[in-house]
Structure 1
Amino acid sequence: MPMPRRGLIAASLGLAAPALSSAGAQEAYPSRPVSVVVPWGPGGPTDAFARVLSQRLSTDLGQPFPVDNRVGANGTIGMAFAARARPDGYTVVIAPNSTYAVAPHLYQLPYNNERDFVGIGLLVSMPIFMLVHRNSPATTVAEYVALARRPNSRLTYANASVGATSHLASEMLLQSAGIEVLEVNYRGGGPAVQAVVAGEAGMVFMPAAAVMGFIRSGELRALGVASATRSPLAPEVPTFREQGFPDVEIVEHVAMLAPAGTPQPILERLNAACRAALRAPDMQPRLDALAVTAETRPLGEWAAYAAAESAKWGAVVRARNIRVQ
């Protein structure tokens, strides 16, 4: 008898073996819906990616993976909710590094990342661009820095959220260049980008997913990309390193986590399923449309990555004296 399609997928991912439930009985995983907590609002880059991945996991694993948006305080509301969930594999979190690596340095939290969560793995990365109004006199990062150094400079930058990767990228540039630019706070990435399009603020850093349309239409000018190499989304935009600012390097990473105590076999299965989904050829057009790049890493690499990421952004928060007002 030919094996059904679901059985073929499960076998290829190593999912056919049963997992122990909390009651000690054996059952196939997943045997019911898996809640995907997204600690950011609907329509944003993290949410959009989470929905694409969840749909694929539902197809591959044969159970729904519904997205549950729990919004507030730079993602920490959703993380606190997930930290209280049963560690049985039926609640996971998809969140950016601003939530799992930066927020603990800014907030007094009711949970501890190292104690209360375990990483399933990185999923995707998003390049971050520095953007100015289309009529700005600056066409390079160096020209922007020169403008900021002029006496009585009135340059401003739009901040979408305190502690977001876009905010930290702005602060990294100011520190690297030895300049100060007035910060103007907005309620989210959309309003921050629109403020620069309208000329209300002079500059913004933002993940590609939120701004590629403005770059391609010419409404915003990209001066630099903060990743280690140029982005294939806009290969004409040089990196900060190329322009003499090697300290400005930041990428928005999105990862999947689970409550601490989730059984190791389930973590391994979810890691394998995510990696298989993100490497599938038919997923590539969907990832391209979201302006994200797959970051499929083995489960065992999470601990070292998370420690380094937390140390890196903790140092930036302290050096720039970033505080939640």
Structure 2
Amino acid sequence: MTRVWLAAACAAVLAPFVAPIDNAQAQGFPSRPVTMVVPLGPGGSTDVIARVVAEGMRATLGQPVIVENTTGAGGTVGVGRVARAAPDGYTFGIGHSGTNVVNGAIYPLQYDLIADFEPIGLISTQPFFIVARKTMPAKNLAELVTWIKENPGKVTEGTSGVGTPSHISGVLLQNTLGVKWTMVPYRGAGQSMQDLIAGNTDIQLDTPATSMPHIQSGLIKVYAVTNKERLKVAPDVPTTDEAGLPGFYYTFWHALWAPKGTPKEAVDKLNAALKAALADPTTRKKLEDLAQVIFPPDQQTPAALGAYQKAEVDKWWPIVKAAGIKPE
């Protein structure tokens, strides 16, 4: 009887220490700050969107959302950081159609972009501006196209890295114009924009989030938006249709993913926090001021992101492989 009593007493004392520490539900997820990994450098649209969304998610989660920039190889390093993270909900990542779709057709990845992640939810989509250094002699898009065609082999375009939307859209523009030029990869749009401002590169396809402050200050020139309609935040910028490049459209989207095996409760709580942030008037305005088109609530679910990402893989992988885009 004494032995039985001792065993029971020891079990009672040890019970708190043998509880499953990796069980998000047992810990009351989240019980501490969570980390959102940004696979591109500071200053670009992915980084800016991440910080807006992270702040918006804080209230619902009741914990800080720490933004961590992990850069390199067109975003593959940061996405890999998420893939290898403990699947407990405390580390998740933001990505886009380049980092979480196109890169699978370009890089020899050590992870599967679909099988090794748990979708959390879609955020928003956005177009590009076609911009150039402020010393560019072209006064409009038609003149810019002429200048490009008259300077084959001399034109340089900054990108956020091989396979990123800025790179893919640049390749599509090359194909449209029938001209090739030098692509200069950076670790993010913030860095490539600084070189454009400095006049070290000639042109760039960049997001309104990154470009608008520099357009407004006169540091770079803008020629068109790659969209069917003008942007409310930049009503004076013509569409590509209006500017003389009809049918040249390009938009890309952002979303959140967690490592494969993250408990459903943690994914659901992260999704609820994302949806609450995207419904919040303050967060919405910040994103809309960055020319973001927020996905409707029924497309903000994990299932919707999973289906959307798979459809994008089916669409873009053949195009990218046919273009022969390789890591540099």
Partner in structure 2 of residue 16 of structure 1: none
Give the unaligned 5+ runs of structure 2: 1-19
Give the unaligned 5+ runs of structure 1: 1-19
1:111 shift after superposition: 0.5
Partner in structure 2 of residue 76 of structure 1: 76
Partner in structure 2 of residue 109 of structure 1: 109
- The answer to whether the 8 Å contact 1:175/1:320 transfers is no
Partner in structure 1 of residue 173 of structure 2: 173
- The answer to whether the 8 Å contact 1:127/1:231 transfers is no
Distance in 2, matches of 1:163 and 1:24, equals 35
Distance in 2, matches of 1:24 and 1:265, equals 7
* Counterpart amino acid of residue 50 in structure 2: A
Partner in structure 2 of residue 311 of structure 1: 314
Partner in structure 2 of residue 192 of structure 1: 192
> Match of 2:32, SS?
coil
Offset from partner CA, 1:252-305 (integer Å, 9 cap, x none): 322100112233343333223212212211223433555544334231321231
Say if 1:50 and 1:196 are closer, same or farther in 2 by CA, change over 3 A.
Answer: closer
- The answer to whether the 8 Å contact 2:227/2:250 transfers is yes
Does 1:201 find its partner at 2:204? no
> Match of 2:53, SS?
helix
> Match of 1:98, SS?
coil
- The answer to whether the 8 Å contact 1:168/1:316 transfers is no
Partner in structure 2 of residue 298 of structure 1: 300
Say if 1:235 and 1:105 are closer, same or farther in 2 by CA, change over 3 A.
Answer: same
Distance in 2, matches of 1:182 and 1:50, equals 30
- The answer to whether the 8 Å contact 1:58/1:64 transfers is yes
- The answer to whether the 8 Å contact 2:196/2:204 transfers is yes
> Match of 1:115, SS?
coil
Higher relative contact order (CA 8 A, sep 6+): 2
Greater Rg over alpha carbons, structure: 2
Partner in structure 2 of residue 61 of structure 1: 61
Say if 1:151 and 1:95 are closer, same or farther in 2 by CA, change over 3 A.
Answer: closer
**313-322 vs 103-112, which moves further:** 313-322
1:180 shift after superposition: 2.2
> Match of 2:99, SS?
helix
Distance in 2, matches of 1:223 and 1:31, equals 48
* Counterpart amino acid of residue 175 in structure 1: N
> Match of 1:54, SS?
helix
Does 1:232 find its partner at 2:252? no
Partner in structure 1 of residue 142 of structure 2: 142
Identity of aligned residues (%): 36
Say if 1:146 and 1:156 are closer, same or farther in 2 by CA, change over 3 A.
Answer: same
Does 1:121 find its partner at 2:124? no
Partner in structure 1 of residue 15 of structure 2: none
1:173 shift after superposition: 0.9
- The answer to whether the 8 Å contact 1:37/1:82 transfers is yes
* Count of matched residue pairs: 306
Partner in structure 2 of residue 4 of structure 1: none
Partner in structure 1 of residue 4 of structure 2: none
Distance in 2, matches of 1:43 and 1:84, equals 25
Distance in 1, matches of 2:163 and 2:153, equals 25
Say if 1:36 and 1:219 are closer, same or farther in 2 by CA, change over 3 A.
Answer: closer
Say if 1:302 and 1:288 are closer, same or farther in 2 by CA, change over 3 A.
Answer: closer
Distance in 2, matches of 1:26 and 1:186, equals 42
> Match of 1:237, SS?
coil
Partner in structure 2 of residue 260 of structure 1: 260
1:212 shift after superposition: 0.6
* Counterpart amino acid of residue 224 in structure 2: G
Distance in 2, matches of 1:99 and 1:152, equals 30
Does 1:86 find its partner at 2:89? no
Say if 1:244 and 1:303 are closer, same or farther in 2 by CA, change over 3 A.
Answer: farther
